[in-house]
Structure 1
Amino acid sequence: MNRKQKKELRRRLSTRQLMGIDQLTEHGLKTAKGELVFFLLSPDNLSVLSADGVRNRVRALTDLLRSVDAAELLALDSRESFQSNKNYYQTRLEQEAVPAIREMLRQNMAHLDDIQSTTASAREFALVHRIDPKSNEDYSTLKQLEKRIKDCGFHVRMAEDQDVKRLLAVYYQQDVTTERFDNFDGEGSVRTNG
């Protein structure tokens, strides 16, 4: 197959096919290598814990992850990055000669810094549990894993349909602003007009 034929084939593939996703499931997605189930994690009361308390929770989660063969931890930004905007303002500031406009550019940069500092801890953590297609894992096994994570001092829940779509959007596009994801292009328009 030559380069032109490969390009034409890629153009005809759906987004899911390009990403290697066979289908979305209730709590994750299926690929050719098996099912991925997502657990959304958030630490509980870290701001009031001592350094030893935080260390103990991290150690407990680390031990749990070591004991689970097919688990990975994802850490994603759940906020927008303004670095390209800041770079643009910095370039404009270096080129601008008018003092009033220079001051406005400085204020805009300071505003972006304020936004980023107030959302600096906006990280999202997901545990990805791989289920081998040949294994006999069922829903009760997943609930047991969820309980074990809770026992480590974390809020946890299995991801739902919209959570999985949001995680994929953040991972592949850094899209943290979309609140609801449609299954098909134009679905929202049909729903509001229908």
Structure 2
Amino acid sequence: MSKKTEKKQAREKASTRQIIGAEAVTDYSLVTNGQGELVYFIIKPSNISVLSEASVGARIYALMTVLKGVAEIEMLCLNSRESFEDNKRFLRSRMDQEDNPVVRKLLEKDQMHLDRIQVQMATAREFLIIIRLKNEKESEVFPYLSRIEKSLKEQGFSVKRADREDIKRILAVYYEQNVTTEKFEDFDGERWIIPDD
């Protein structure tokens, strides 16, 4: 058996956690396989379209100040709402191909419906500051994270340290673009387990 086939079989047998390199989700972090422990800070975005040029410059300077103060910062930007762009692109291509005027009219109505939903949801981004903890003493972790959170707040950012449910939601959005589920399971199929059965 070739090495390529062995690797493929090993990957097929691997759990989702093994594939993404995650060991566990704690109350405040994502523990990874050999890449440290990831702590997420959720930054509420500002609507810069209504800010003056000077205000936007001040926001950029504030972020630069935070980045200079904490070298370990990584940043991530995710969709926090569902995007229908692929669906709308598909509907447009179907309308171009469709000869039947009744079906074409239905496709147009579907596209208008998706447009309305997207406007109502006000598609937004979610900005994350990530701190990768490596070999920190347990007694030093929380004061260190509190200093980073305080620094972000002092620079005018609306910030929240992600908890267990936030981290599970972030992973769902990042890996499967799932932004509609309310409660995420700790284990696949957890919702189907009946206690004391």
Query: If the TM-score is normalised by the length of the shorter chain, which range does it land in?
Result: 0.7 to 0.9
Is 2:184 the partner of 1:181? Answer: yes
Kindly provide the CA deviation profile for residues 64-100 of structure 1, in whole angstroms up to 9, marking residues without a partner as x.
1132111111110011121222122122212223333
Q: What's the CA shift for 1:4?
A: 2.1
State the percentage of identical aligned residues: 42
Answer whether contact 1:89 1:105 (CA < 8 A) is retained. yes
Map of 1:12 onto structure 2: 13
Which residue number in structure 2 is paired with residue 27 of structure 1?
28
Quick one: distance in 2 between partners of 1:139 and 1:191? Answer: 37
Partner of 1:150, secondary structure, is helix
Q: Are the equivalent residues in 1 in contact too, given 2:41–2:161 (CA < 8 A)? A: yes
Alpha-carbon distance in 2 for matches of 1:102, 1:43: 39
Report the RMSD for the aligned CA atoms in angstroms.
2.5
Deviations 1:8-27 (A, max 9, x none): 22222221111111222221
Q: 1:157 to 1:191 in 2, by over 3 A?
A: farther
Q: Distance in 2 between matches of 1:192 and 1:58?
A: 51
Task: Kindly tell me the number of residue pairs found equivalent between the two proteins.
Answer: 194
1:58–1:13 Cα change, 3 Å:
same
1:154 aligns with 2:157: yes
Question: In the alignment, does 2:82 pair up with 1:80?
Answer: yes
Distance 1:87 1:173, change over 3 A: same
Moved more, 85-94 or 133-142: 133-142
In the TM superposition, what are the counterparts of 1:1-194 in structure 2 within 5 Å? 2-31=3-32, 32-43=34-45, 49-133=51-135, 137-190=140-193
**Gap regions ≥5 residues in structure 2:** none
Give the 3-state SS of the residue equivalent to 1:178 in structure 2. coil
Contact 1:77 1:124 in 2 (8 A): yes
Distance 2:60 2:29 in 1: 25
